[in-house]
Amino acid sequence: MAKKKAAAKKPAKKHIVRKSIPKKAPVEKVPEYMVQIHEPKMIRKDVLESLREIIIFMQGYEKFRLLQEEKVTLFAKLKRELKEIEVMIDSKLRHYLPKGKLHPVTREDQKKRDEKEVVDSMSYMEEKPVPVQVVAASPMPVGKVVPPKNELDDLESQLKDIQSQLEDLS
């Protein structure tokens, strides 16, 4: 039989202090290839035109941003002035105004009124149409055109009458 070899003891590892080797500075690599550009002036022109368009776009964006900031400041100013007006109304103006017997209009009241108006207008549409009488048109003078009268014209004529009456009184 073969004899077994006795396992040799491994010597304990000693800490070896290694001296640091100075690192070499990275060497800049020069590209080992060349690209030939046909018509370099045209490519330069295209690049410059695209840069010009980018600058124009950025200028437009700056104008837009300034307008947005101005809008925000105007709204903040408007909000502040509205608060001041509400304070003035509540504190000063209410003392001079008479107390009325009317109740404040709420949103629910307004909705009810709106619904009632819609129902009234629908019932008006359901009514039978009034027969229209055809009247023979009288010849109109050639030089003068008379516009058709409507409610606005009637109101204006009433306003003129009222103003003339007021002038007569004073």
pLDDT digits (tens, 9 = 90+) for 8-22: 666 666 666 666 776
CA distance to 96, 137, 147, per residue, from 144 (Å):
54, 16, 10
Domain range list for the chain: 39-98
> Over the stretch 64-95, which tens digit does the pLDDT of each residue have?
999 999 999 999 999 999 999 999 888 888 77
pLDDT exceeds cutoff 80 at 122: no
**Taking 70 as the threshold, does the pLDDT of residue 113 lie above it?**
yes
* pLDDT over 70 (residue 162): yes
Residue 42 has pLDDT above 60, yes or no: yes
Q: What is the pLDDT of residue 141?
A: 53
Provide the CA 76 distance to its chain's centre, in angstroms: 15
For 130-151, b/e burial (b = at least 16 CB within 10 A) is: eeeeeeeeeeeeeeeeeeeeee
